[in-house]
Every structure is written in C-alpha cells, then in structure tokens.
Amino acid sequence: MSTLLVIAKAPVAGRVKTRLTPRFTPEEAAGLARAALQDTLAAVLATDARRRVLVLDGRPGPWLPEGIEVVPQCAGGLDVRLAAAFSLSGGPALLIGMDTPQVTPELLAQGLDFTGTGAWFGPADDGGFWALGLARPDPALLLGVPMSVPHTGREQRLRLTASGRAVRDLPALCDVDTPADAARVAAAAPGTRFAALHGELCAVAR
C-alpha cells in the first residue's frame, strides 16, 4: 500500500495565500487557506493509504485532525522540499499540496494505484501540478526542476518520461492562488469548507 503525502504551510495570516489580497484581508486569506487544508486533509483521511503524512512548514494547530502524521519541511527550494518529502515515504507515494480543496478520495485512490505505471502526474491549470505519484521515489526526478513558473508542469512531466517511467495523468485541477481561482474552485466544490467560507466572505459588503 502507498503513502499519501501533503505538503503545506500552516495557515498563518501574512504567510499564506498572499495573492488573494487585497480582495481578501490577510486574515481572510489565511482562513481560506485553513479551510482548503481542512478539506484536503478530510479527503486524505477518507482515502485508504499505508501512511498519511503532512509535511508542514510551520506549527500544527486546531485545524489538524487525528490520524495525520506531521513532519516538518526541510529548508531549501520547493524542488528540494518535494524531494525530501518523498524520501519520507519509504516506498510508493502520492504527493499533493493544500491548494486543491476540490480533491476527492476517488482521485487520490486513483493516484495511489501504481499497477502498470511508474508515475502519476496531476496537471494544474496554471501550468504547474497538483499531484505527483512515484512508484519508486528518486530525488533526481525533482531536483533542479524550475518551480512556480508557467512551464513547471511541462518540465516535471518531461523529467518523469525521460527517466523511462510509464506516466499516467490524473485530471487537471485548478489551484487556489488568485481571487479568480478561489471563485472558480468554490463554484466547482460547493459542499466544501472552502466554498462555504468563500461564500460568507464574498457576501460581506466591501
């Protein structure tokens, strides 16, 4: 059975979702980040996995449910931190972020099944990726990939195929980075904590 990894920042005002301002205050942006993380972890808990690990930048808070193992992120660029997260798995693993509260247990279960494939790749609409699954984690698959640029996803997928691994794709999802992203994701996942809070915040006159 595979390990499910979530890499995330603690939802602290001024440190997360800063691109949601000034449409939302730093405190509201942090609230949306917290809701997104809670939705993500709920999906993780509803998914059958060998381990469920939150690789966290910051300190756990009351938003953390039982059943999630917490490990601190290492220092370094995002490629270094992702590679280090995979090293925790000790075997096949699927890694996701906290920016897709619309993710479902069904999608996660798909990415944890490595039957006939060496890697899963979940593209994000902004050119990045929301999920990466590796049957045999190897730091060389991540280190040096340019992160947080429009061609990150393309470069990461090329790295996978160049290694000779069979790669299968998960559905593309929208990351929550901008206010427009937040509105789109809230509309797509109306039953989430994220959507409920987004609706409350948008209903307030500004």
Ranges of residues in the chain whose predicted pLDDT is under 70: 205-206
Phi and psi at 52, nearest 5°, equal: -125, 110
Show the domain range for 109.
Answer: 3-203
Which residue has tokens 């953390």?
64
User: How many domains would you assign to the chain?
Assistant: 1
Q: For residues 184 and 188, give the distance between their C-alpha atoms in angstroms, rounded to a whole number.
A: 6
For residue range 18-41, list pLDDT tens digits in order.
999 999 999 999 999 999 999 999
At 204 the pLDDT is 83
Rounded to two decimals, what is the model's pTM?
A: 0.96
Contact 98, 9 (CB under 8 A): yes
At 206 the pLDDT is 58
Q: For residues 15 and 113, give the distance between their C-alpha atoms in angstroms, rounded to a whole number.
A: 34
Which residue has tokens 């944890």?
112
Point out which residues pair with 26 in neighbouring strands: none
For residue range 177-189, list pLDDT tens digits in order.
999 999 999 999 9
CATH number at residue 55: 3.90.550.10
* Other CB atoms within 10 A of residue 72 CB: 11
H-helix or E-strand containing 68?
A: none
Q: Which of 53, 39, 48 is nearest to 98 (CA)?
A: 39
